[in-house]
Amino acid sequence: MPEAYSNKVMEHFKNPRNVGELENPDGTGHVGNPVCGDIMEMYIKVKDNVITDAKFKTFGCGAAIATSSMATELIKGKTIEEALSVTNKAVAEALGGLPPVKMHCSVLAEDALKSAIDDYLKKTTGKGLPGFKPHDHTH
């Protein structure tokens, strides 16, 4: 463990919110790969443009689990537009900061979220999220 995690990170790591999958999700995001050691899946339910539920599954370190948990918390109840403004920095800040080497975990969480919204938009409008391209997580 390169640096101590904040209390908030540990709290979300110990008791992650919204773990699991959703039945018939309106959007599913899948990012990361086993080589870099982090894989995130995010599921969202959307009603009248509002994210009514979100769940995740993550293979990864403490920061990966905590950022997934926080990202799902931050987008629940938000409109698609509001959810799109949740950046990796916002996730990291909400967790009381991350050690520098773990910032990529928050980028992954943002990508997972956008990937789920991209999937939702493709299903509903036929077009994905404009300009969305997940970061290269192979390092």
Of 27-35, 75-83, 88-96, 122-130: span binding another protein (CB under 8 A) = 27-35
Taking CB under 8 A as the criterion, the residue among 25, 40, 92, 108 binding another protein is: 40
Taking CB under 8 A as the criterion, the residue among 44, 46, 64, 80 binding another protein is: 64
Contact status: 77 vs another protein (CB under 8 A):
no
Locate 90 and state its tokens: 């916002």
**Strand-pair partners of 85:** none
Q: H-helix or E-strand containing 95?
A: none
Please state the closest distance from residue 33 (CB atom) to another protein, in A.
Answer: 8
- Complex with another protein: residue 65 or 80, whichever CB lies closer: 65
Per-residue three-class SS string for 45-71: EEECCEEEEEEEEEECCHHHHHHHHHH
Kindly write out the interface string for residues 104-123 of this chain, putting x where it contacts another protein by CB under 8 A and - elsewhere.
x-------------------
Nearest to 70 by CA among 82, 59, 56: 56
